[in-house]
Amino acid sequence: MAFLLTFLGKGGVGCTTVAIAAAHRLASQGKRVLFASQDASPALGLMLGVTTGPDPMAIAPNLQVVQLQTTVLLERAWEDLKTLESRYLRTPFFKNIYGQELGVLAGMDSAMALNAIRQWDSAYDVIVYDSPSSPEILRMLGMPEIVSWYTRRFRQVFIDSDFGKTVSPFIPPMAAAVMNINLLADNFAQPTADINGLLNQGIEKLSDPNQTIAYLVTTGDPVSTATAQYLWGSAQQVGLNVGGVILNPMANPMANPMANAESPLADPFNPLTITTISQGPWDTIAPQLPNFTQSSNAPRPVTIDKAARTVTLFLPSFDKKQVKLTQYGPEITIEAGDQRRNVFLPAGLSGLPVAGAKFQDGCLIISF
């Protein structure tokens, strides 16, 4: 299983250059590395000095690069979907629609990229993922948990509804007329379990800092620093651990007092470690980068203490006025910035009403 590494920051702070440098450094350590870019423009090929394409290609020892193209990924995924359809339906209806016809809708880029990363996961030791949009990275990595919530929540709402109770006796015979499987048999439970298993694997991979980590990149100026702080809090909201900060000053350090690890920049990112790099191409940056596999000192995004009946969410860069807590359903919902997260409560806490909440040291502590 590959270690997934990505970088978050405001556009223009050098995330792609740092990502390329990180890929080369990890490859030089003997790890099998895939550098996957979501940027479909010619910029990546110019930066690497090679022609890139939609299939992984070797550009250095232990290092391969792929330029994700959503149209290609969509076409391949469509063929996989048609194969599944023919397995379960007596008369497949997608067979008359061809992948070469499909246009790309908003959101497909992230979904196709995540699926591609999943398929390559076992072939590499490290996958370095780069995208022009840090918010899109967070949307993509948070997708398994969001989809899992929609699946279990709406399924239960349907089952509990009067309509669901009314039509449920008729679903098996109707489905049997058009499907190759029996809804009452175990063979229908298997594909459902497979889907839930894939979603759970994605959730577990994201939440484990030994499998997935992000680093913040900033030039040290107020705008890029504020953006990096916001992305830090947003990453916590989707369950992504942040390992540290890379300070990439683009001006003369003497003219920029914040382009120094000893500057006040350290306070907004406490307790993250800040690594300062000098400006230059990736080959001069690579030796200056931190050990990406080293554990972060920052708290985990979510900590559940069943004995104390508390759920603690680490939400750096947000204050209590920016955090909203609600409990409309069986789970608790936390909204911060432009991210909304539903926390699935374990047995012992599930169903209990929130007794209190406080915001302390960047953490939202919820009591039951």
* Residues 86-137 pLDDT 10s: 776 777 777 788 888 888 888 889 999 999 999 999 999 999 999 999 999 9
Specify the pLDDT at position 255: 38
- Whether the per-residue pLDDT at 235 is higher than 50: the answer is yes
How is domain 3-71+103-144+205-288 classified at the CATH fold level? Rossmann fold (3.40.50)
- Whether the per-residue pLDDT at 347 is higher than 90: the answer is no
What's the rounded mean pLDDT across residues 41-70?
92
**Which pTM was predicted?**
0.85
Q: Please enumerate in sequence order all residues whose Cβ is within 8 A of that of 273, keeping only pairs 6 or more positions apart, or say none.
A: 244, 245, 290, 296, 297
- Whether the per-residue pLDDT at 253 is higher than 60: the answer is no
Sequence spans of domains, the chain: 3-71+103-144+205-288, 148-194, 302-367
Same-fold call for 3-71+103-144+205-288 versus 302-367: no
* Alpha-carbon span 29 to 17, nearest angstrom: 19
How is domain 302-367 classified at the CATH fold level? Immunoglobulin-like (2.60.40)
Give the CA dihedral 111, 303, 2, 117, nearest 10 degrees: 0
Instruction: Tell me the pLDDT tens digit for each residue of 302-315.
Output: 999 999 999 999 99
Worst-scoring range by mean pLDDT, 231-235, 255-259, 276-280, 308-312? 255-259
Worst-scoring range by mean pLDDT, 55-64, 178-187, 238-247, 330-339? 178-187
